[in-house]
Amino acid sequence: MNDTVSSLATLVADAAAAFDAAPTPAELENAKARFLGKSGRLTELLKGLAALAPEEKKAQGARINEAKQQVEAALNARRQALADAELAQQLRAEALDVTLPGRTPGQGGLHPVTRAMERIEQIFGSMGFDVADGPEIEADWFNFTALNTPQDHPARSMHDTFYVEGGYVLRTHTSPMQIRYAVQHVKRHKHLLDAGLPMPEIRVIAPGRTYRVDSDATHSPMFHQVEGLWVGENISFKDLKAVYVDFIQAFFETKDLEIRFRPSYFPFTEPSAEIDMKFATGPLAGRWLEVSGSGQVHPQVIRNMGLDPERYIGFAFGSGIDRLAMLRYGVNDLRLFFDGDLRFLRQFA
């Protein structure tokens, strides 16, 4: 009997050792089969009970059952240990580093032309100019006729202009804003004019998109202009010169440049001039660059604004914003601005 007890104790110890040595659940199940399976060592012992006398059978059965419980306890302990290890491993593998910086939405930046536009608005704003916005699909009247541009003027040709049905065009310049803004201004101050009293001056810039049938390194079918208009009772060409020189110096942050007014022709100004500038230093030093059309507002245009040309006089200019942005940022092809290539655009953000 002692023999049986010690062999049962050995069996339990063997089983516990085998279970503990199993590195995976699958191998643990194999080890289990060797003790508790159909022909496992414990199962064989239980089968052997059949051959014993009833008294013996009862005592031996109880001992075997006790051993079986110990083997099962060892098995469950190992199962639990393997499951715990697996969970710990999984937690380690899926660990989150909460000290990592969070994911932020991508940062946008302003387009260089927008930057130039905002800069222009800021500079003219500081000189007391209002900023106005107007339609890009413009009536023939505002784009041409009111600006003293006759029906047969070359600027009206199909070649230069995108025509839209119904007497509309994609505006070919920002000059229609001269009329739109002035007409509103005059309407607002009608009571003063009716009473023969002086009207506050018109002082406005109107930046925005403009369109022409044109495309090369310095022309795009869509481009940007800024219109400037200053009308009062005593506004002369020398005011235009002072304002424009101040603007260009502020825009390029240097006084190291020259500006010249070159006689030109526009139907809506008389006299008219192109404004050219020349840097004294830098990669473009010494070259005259055209940046704007300008002139004294034509008497017929003053009349179309609803004002008396005998009393009111002023100047206007229309400058290429893209050209100014190219010069400021050293960009040599206008089309880069409108290709939408982020490698180019990110440099300005």
Name the segment binding ligand PHE (CB under 6 A); options: 64-72, 282-290, 292-300, 336-344.
292-300
Name the segment binding ligand PHE (CB under 6 A); options: 96-104, 130-138, 251-259, 310-318.
310-318
Q: How far is the CB of 237 from ligand PHE (least distance, A)?
A: 12
Q: Tell me the C-alpha distance between 178 and 143, whole Å.
A: 10
Q: Are 172 and 212 in contact (CB under 8 A)?
A: yes
Q: How far is the CB of 185 from ligand PHE (least distance, A)?
A: 17
Q: How far is the CB of 295 from ligand PHE (least distance, A)?
A: 5
3-state helix, strand, coil in the chain (%, to 5): 50, 20, 30
Residue 277, interface with ligand PHE (CB under 6 A)? no
CA neighbor of 181 nearest in space, from 273, 270, 301: 301
Nearer to ligand PHE, 8 or 202 (CB): 202
Contact residue for ligand PHE among 176, 207, 208, 295 (CB under 6 A):
295
Site for ligand PHE in 231-270 (CB under 6 A): 266, 269
CA neighbor of 214 nearest in space, from 322, 291, 293: 322
Contact residue for ligand PHE among 176, 208, 314, 318 (CB under 6 A):
318
Cα end-to-end span (Å), the chain:
92
Torsion over CA: 73, 77, 79, 83 (sign) = positive
* Size of the residue set binding ligand PHE (CB under 6 A): 11
What type of residue is 176? P
Residue 317, interface with ligand PHE (CB under 6 A)? yes
Contact residue for ligand PHE among 293, 313, 314, 334 (CB under 6 A):
293
CA neighbor of 19 nearest in space, from 38, 5, 37, 33: 33
Q: Is the peptide bond before 271 cis (omega within 30 degrees of 0)?
A: yes
Site for ligand PHE in 159-188 (CB under 6 A): 173, 175
Q: How far is the CB of 288 from ligand PHE (least distance, A)?
A: 17
Residue 224, interface with ligand PHE (CB under 6 A)? no
Q: Are 176 and 134 in contact (CB under 8 A)?
A: yes
Contact residue for ligand PHE among 177, 275, 301, 316 (CB under 6 A):
316
Measured at the CA of 69, the angle between CA 66 and CA 74, to 5 degrees, comes to: 130
Measured at the CA of 55, the angle between CA 54 and CA 58, to 5 degrees, comes to: 85
Nearer to ligand PHE, 265 or 346 (CB): 265
Q: How far is the CB of 255 from ligand PHE (least distance, A)?
A: 25
Q: Are 170 and 295 in contact (CB under 8 A)?
A: no
Q: Are 320 and 120 in contact (CB under 8 A)?
A: no
Q: How far is the CB of 324 from ligand PHE (least distance, A)?
A: 14
Residue with the shortest CB distance to ligand PHE: 318
Site for ligand PHE in 3-62 (CB under 6 A): none
User: What is the binding site for ligand PHE (CB under 6 A)?
Assistant: 173, 175, 266, 269, 272, 293-295, 316-318
